[in-house]
Structure 1
Amino acid sequence: MQSDEPITRRTAFLATAALAMTMGSAAVAQGNDALSVAMLIPGQIDDNGFMEAGYDGLMAIERELGATTAYIDGVKPKPELLMEALRTLAAEGPDLVIAHGGQNNEAAQTVAPEFPAVKFVVVQGDVTGANLSSYDILQEESAWLAGAAAGLMTETDVVGHISGIRVTPGLKGRGGFYNGLMHTNPEATFLTIFAGDQDDNDLSYRVANEEIDGGADIIFTMLNAGRTGAINAMREKGVRQIGNVGDWTQEEPEVFVASAIADVSQAGLMAARDVAEGGWKPDTIVRIGLSNPEAVSLSLAPDVPDDVRAEVDRLRDEIVAGNIEVSTDYEGAELTP
């Protein structure tokens, strides 16, 4: 459960310790002394989405690198709360603090200079500093392909998009999706909303129905725990969904026609590898896109026609070759919550 109350205790890098925190929860795990990594996860680690992917990345760091790890989750995306959580983690002196999500940009820029001996990384961030870098999985590239696929497959020529909070990666993903849609179907109508919450299933159910009532037969959702409400609405109305972050076509292929994979677990893992191997650089933004299919790709459901698959493959190759520029601009209308 999330709370607005401040953190009152610090996590420590101790085996099998788990401290109940006033803000969300914290947990730690024991590795060797080679590397210590802490992560701030401003959401639920079991949200079946972006936050869970961050936690999975932390566990991969523990397994692959033998690192000692710690995390704080359940923090609301408010700058003062994020700053306090980062200070709590950094005060323990880890080698690396990972702030998972672009909503941590401001907090990381403020806190990193206070702990010059600690390396800081923002996943999906766009901030840098003397001991701060960002690792950006280019969700917009797989979202662009998803939009292109939606433009090829829509039968109503109305395509939707639903997200929660207006953070930079979400805006880029929406823009990428829109521009991919316009590339293959410039006459399509685009319905888009930032509903204000990534985890509210009643809200996502309602706004999904609004877009369905507006004619959308394919809707791209960039949600976390609130995705279930959208799934339920689309299943009831026979509308197809395009997921993000993970491969939702493997979970519910009857609902998901595609999934714009952006495996953000890879970002934290890559950063930790760089620290462990001595290759980490401050004042840098590391961008990972379709040229790294382990991190970024578009998955299509089994019932997607072969001609659509072939065109998506061709467009992907054009992006990787630099022949198509993935624009993230969008200046059109938005629905209101």
Structure 2
Amino acid sequence: MTKLGYAAISFLMASTAHAQSDSLSVAMLLAGNIEDNGFMEAGYNGLLKIQEEFGAKISYIDKIEPEPEQLAAALRRLAQDGPDMVIAHGGQNNQAAQQVSAEFPEIAFVVVQGNVTGPNLSSYEVLQEESAWLGGAAAGLLTKTDVVGHISGIRVTPGLKGRGGFYNGLMHTNPDAKFLTIFAGNQDDNELSERVAKAQMEQGADYIFTMLNAGRQGATDAMRGTSTRQFGNVIDWTTVEPEVFAGSAIADVSIPSVEAVQDYTTGNWKPGVVKAIGLENPTAVSLTLADDVPAEIKSQIEELKQKIIRDEIEVSTEYDGPEMAP
């Protein structure tokens, strides 16, 4: 039997025992601010769901700089308290989770939006690139200038996949469009995101996809009162500021952590795997469009969505084109 096989049996026995004894404890690392109105807040909401739904004892650390050494140190502090599961929220934790999980082989580790595995490590992800692809397709149909932008902060795998998905959706509906893209280096810096958004607008972008956390506000401020509209991500931003947001590529990243704990308590959690959740689960992944988006475009996007679900369209996350300088 393989090392992973022994680990799976071990964790199945451990999770069943904890389910029976009602002594579940779950710790989470959130690299950013849990009040960012975005990715980190969604992760924290997932932790609160775990507390409510499973009666788990929870703990967390947030506001850690996304540097491997700092992330590893924070994960180590959480693991030293001996929880049943440590959840690292965000793909920026890939390297640190691989390192620290090896130091605590008796604890189950999960990376949300990650792509790493190990004898006691798995990854759970919502396929944000699928809703991002639909967002790019919608932007391609809506743009009047044929210039569409993308702004993100740190260069992590989920962000790269989301950017690639958006770009390929744009190319599907508008192959002649010019694509402006940047990873500016910070998810939470509003001055930076406002400056970058204005730079893309000056180059003609009338739709910009933002994959930001607390720094989204700067980009939103730059667009308010202009003809440029924004596509958000993670939550439905069209209900927050409909005059700015034309759509939102929803990827409910509170769901993976809850599913991981659900699997753990039922004995179904397995190390060594990456579990993916896509458009087939509209609670987790979907594209919303603002009320003023024409009905015919909404219909076209719905048709494309169904083709993705039926595997008639393959969502590519590749992008090897030019990027703007930070």
The two structures have a TM-score, normalised by structure 2, of 0.93
The counterpart of 1:200, out of the listed 178, 189, 192, is 189
| Mapping 1:244-323, distance limit 5 Å | 244-323=233-312
1:97 equivalent to 2:83? Answer: no
Residue 168 (structure 1) aligns with: 157
Residue 333 (structure 1) aligns with: 322
Structure with the larger helix share: 2
| Mapping 1:69-88, distance limit 5 Å | 69-88=58-77
What CA deviation, in whole Å up to 9, does each residue of 1:38-96 have, x standing for no partner?
Answer: 00000000001101110000001111111110000010011111111111111111110
How far did residue 308 of structure 1 move? 0.5
Which letter does structure 1 place at the counterpart of 2:320? Answer: E
Residue 26 (structure 1) aligns with: none
What CA deviation, in whole Å up to 9, does each residue of 1:253-280 have, x standing for no partner?
Answer: 1100000000000011110111111110
| Helix, strand or coil at the partner of 1:237 | coil
Contact persistence 1:258–1:299 (CA under 8 A)? yes
How far did residue 154 of structure 1 move? 0.5
How far did residue 116 of structure 1 move? 0.9
The counterpart of 1:40, out of the listed 25, 29, 47, is 29
5+ unaligned residues in a row in structure 1: which ranges?
A: 1-31
| Helix, strand or coil at the partner of 2:66 | coil
Residue 121 (structure 1) aligns with: 110
What CA deviation, in whole Å up to 9, does each residue of 1:229-265 have, x standing for no partner?
Answer: 0000011423100000000001001100000000000
| Mapping 1:179-194, distance limit 5 Å | 179-194=168-183
Separation in 2 of the partners of 1:285 and 1:308?
34
How far did residue 133 of structure 1 move? 0.1
Separation in 2 of the partners of 1:33 and 1:251?
39
What CA deviation, in whole Å up to 9, does each residue of 1:173-200 have, x standing for no partner?
Answer: 0000000000000000101111110000
Which letter does structure 1 place at the counterpart of 2:97? Answer: A
Residue 14 (structure 1) aligns with: none
How far did residue 34 of structure 1 move? 3.1
TM-align CA RMSD? 0.8
What CA deviation, in whole Å up to 9, does each residue of 1:5-43 have, x standing for no partner?
Answer: xxxxxxxxxxxxxxxxxxxxxxxxxxx943110000000
Contact persistence 1:75–1:82 (CA under 8 A)? yes
How far did residue 136 of structure 1 move? 1.1
| Helix, strand or coil at the partner of 2:115 | coil
The counterpart of 1:231, out of the listed 197, 217, 220, is 220
| Helix, strand or coil at the partner of 1:71 | strand
Which fold has the larger relative contact order, with Cα–Cα distance below 8 Å and residues 6 or more apart in sequence? 2
**Hey, which bits of structure 1, 4+ residues long, moved more than 2 A?**
none
Residue 54 (structure 2) aligns with: 65
Separation in 2 of the partners of 1:131 and 1:334?
37
1:218 equivalent to 2:207? Answer: yes
Separation in 1 of the partners of 2:22 and 2:97?
25
Separation in 1 of the partners of 2:188 and 2:154?
10
Which letter does structure 2 place at the counterpart of 1:185? Answer: N
Contact persistence 1:249–1:257 (CA under 8 A)? yes
The counterpart of 1:146, out of the listed 128, 135, 138, is 135
The two structures have a TM-score, normalised by structure 1, of 0.90
Contact persistence 1:121–1:133 (CA under 8 A)? yes
Separation in 2 of the partners of 1:80 and 1:229?
29
Contact persistence 1:33–1:68 (CA under 8 A)? no
